[in-house]
Amino acid sequence: MLTQEQRHEMIAVAAYYLAERRGFAPGASDEDWALAEQQIERLLTNMQQAGKNAHDLDSMDLPNALRMWGGNAHVSSTEH
């Protein structure tokens, strides 16, 4: 199980890459964070369903994994 600190770090990294993808234009940081939370929750759910756990994250290059995953898995901000 992930700690809250690990989860927060994953969301922060994902939000950074979302902001980067839109050119760091000001005024959308809250939307970046909310979308990153959705993406990370989806990633963690998929990992759990695949039998992966927090220890498997240690072997990942997390920023690159999030960058690649985030670029391919857009979650609409209207999805809940």
pLDDT in tens, 56-79: 776 666 666 665 555 444 443 333
Asked whether residue 6 carries a pLDDT value surpassing 80, the answer given is: yes
Digit-coded pLDDT (tens) for 31-58: 999 999 999 999 888 888 888 876 777 6
User: Per the domain annotation, does 80 fall within a domain?
Assistant: no
Task: Look at residue 23 and give its three-state secondary structure.
Answer: coil
CB atoms within 10 A of CB 70: 23
Question: Which residues span the domain enclosing 18?
Answer: 4-72
User: Per the domain annotation, does 77 fall within a domain?
Assistant: no
Q: What is residue 62's predicted lDDT score, i.e. its pLDDT?
A: 65
- 62 DSSP assignment: H
Q: What is residue 75's predicted lDDT score, i.e. its pLDDT?
A: 40
Q: What is residue 76's predicted lDDT score, i.e. its pLDDT?
A: 37
Give the total number of structural domains in the chain.
1
User: Per the domain annotation, does 25 fall within a domain?
Assistant: yes
Specify whether the CB–CB gap between 38 and 79 falls below 8 A: yes
At residue 3, what is the residue type? T
Q: What is residue 78's predicted lDDT score, i.e. its pLDDT?
A: 38
